[in-house]
Amino acid sequence: MNSPRGTVLVDTARPGPPAHDERFTRISGCAPLPAVTRSAARVHGRDSRAGDVTVTDFHTTAGVRTPVAPHQPAEMRLYLVRRGVWTLDYDRGAFPVRPGGFLAYPSTGLKGFDTTPQTTGHSVAIPLGELRDLPVDAPLTGSAAAAEVRLLLAHATLLHDTIDDLSDAGVGAARNALVELTRGVLRRAADATEPALAPALARAARDLADRLLTRAELTPALLARELHVSVRTLSRAFAGTGEPAAAYIRRRRLEEARRALAAGHTVSEAAARFRFADSSHFIRTFRAHYAETPAQYAKRTRP
């Protein structure tokens, strides 16, 4: 069986058919090369594909900006910058990659690219299905000087140089090596990033929950969606607090319902406002937590 493979060299200063069209003719599924948006810009690019993995090198002499083709394949994209700034525009925000750094994020929601003049960068794209055991729901960042990154780039360069001479078995082996090397980069970044981000994520989730206590749809899933993380990542962040996200929501609703009683609201009003199933459920929960009924508390605290 023939493994999809190939290399495309692009120079926007070269006459002939548009480089963008050539790329898609030669290698299907590659991310589009930035379209020149300022005069006198020249973009050099090189793509190599081994099976369902693509590596790209590029350099641009002037700032460029381009949208990407719709319906991007479900890939993890690893972007590395040696010089200049490469900004990835996603529907959830813009993420700049600066010299000496990298950013990894799924292609889902990618709208376009923006680069400053004299930007030199690389990218590696691998199927998301290869990363089921890694966190892929938030950007991962790190230093391009890390040993894992340098090893990945060395292998990518070797692929550029040898792809046309490899046998099908060689292409498959090169593809698998790229996947494993990319996983190594992402694993190191995830191990370094997630523990540091967990307290901030938990704090952000608690603050958001406090603002949404009266909304019926408030759940850990809603918090995760609003914060652009998975429920699993949110759960890991709350694990360090000793209180799961769902328990935090229940406790805060009960506390605010108690405040409402002290402010003069009836039992049924407090129960409805803070989304208890009914007054009976509110009374049972309140008594179990505070060792008195809502009516007893209201009578004791009101003037």
* Best CA proximity match to 91, nearest among 221, 204, 228, 201: 228
pLDDT of residue 67: 79
- Looking at residue 100, what is its pLDDT? 92
- From 195, 222, 245, the end of a domain falls on 195
Top-confidence range, 87-101, 142-156, 278-292:
278-292
Q: Which of 167, 195, 223 is the last residue of a domain?
A: 195
Res. 212: pLDDT tops 80: yes
What mean pLDDT do residues 189-213 have? 79
Portion of the chain with pLDDT greater than 70, in percent? 82
Residue 203 lies in a domain: no
Per-residue pLDDT, averaged over 218-231, amounts to 86
Examine the domain organization and report whether 190 and 216 are in the same domain: no
> In terms of domains, do 57 and 126 share one?
yes
Q: What integer pLDDT is reported at residue 126 of this predicted model?
A: 92
The per-residue pLDDT for 12 is 58
Confidence of residue 250 (pLDDT cuts 50, 70, 90): very high
Q: What single-letter amino acid sits at 303?
A: P
Q: Does the structure show a pLDDT above 60 at 35?
A: no
In a domain, 206, yes or no: no
CB 133 within 8 A of CB 187: no
Co-location of 187 and 124 in the same domain:
yes
How far is 298 from 22, CA to CA, in rounded Å? 75
The tally of domains found in the chain comes to 2
Whether 93 and 180 map to the same domain: the answer is yes
Same domain, 98 and 190: yes
9 band by pLDDT with thresholds 50, 70 and 90: low
105: in domain: yes
| Averaged pLDDT score across all residues of the chain | 82
Do 45 and 166 sit in the same domain of this protein? yes
Q: What pLDDT does 148 receive? A: 87
Asked if pLDDT for residue 72 goes beyond 80, the answer is no
Q: Tell me the mean pLDDT in the region 53-80.
A: 84
Cα–Cα distance, 121 to 163 (Å, whole number):
20
* Of residues 59, 31, 232, the one with CA closest to residue 137: 232
Q: Which of 12-21, 25-34, 163-172: highest mean pLDDT?
A: 163-172
Maximum mean pLDDT: which of 37-41, 206-210, 225-229: 206-210
pLDDT at 193: 56
Provide the CATH number for the domain around residue 303.
1.10.10.60
**Residues 16 and 66 placed together within one structural domain of the fold:** yes
Prediction pTM value: 0.57
The CATH number of whichever domain residue 36 belongs to comes to 2.60.120.10
- The predicted structure's pLDDT at residue 33: 47
pLDDT for 34: 45
Of 164, 195, 226, which residue is a domain's last? 195
For residue 124, the model assigns a pLDDT of 93
What pLDDT score does 59 carry? 87
Q: What's the domain range around 235?
A: 212-303
The DSSP line for the chain is -PPPEEEEEEETTS-SS-HHHHHHHHSTTPPPPPPB-STT--EEEEEEEETTEEEEEEEESS-EEEEPPSS--SEEEEEEEEES-EEEEETTEEEEE-TTEEEEEESTTEEEEEE-TTEEEEEEEEEGGGGTTS--SS-EEEETTSHHHHHHHHHHHHHHHHGGG--HHHHHHHHHHHHHHHHHHHHHHHHHHHHHHHHHHHHHHHHHHHHTTT-TT-SHHHHHHHTTS-HHHHHHHHHTTTS-HHHHHHHHHHHHHHHHHHTT--HHHHHHHTT-SSHHHHHHHHHHHHSS-HHHHHHHH--
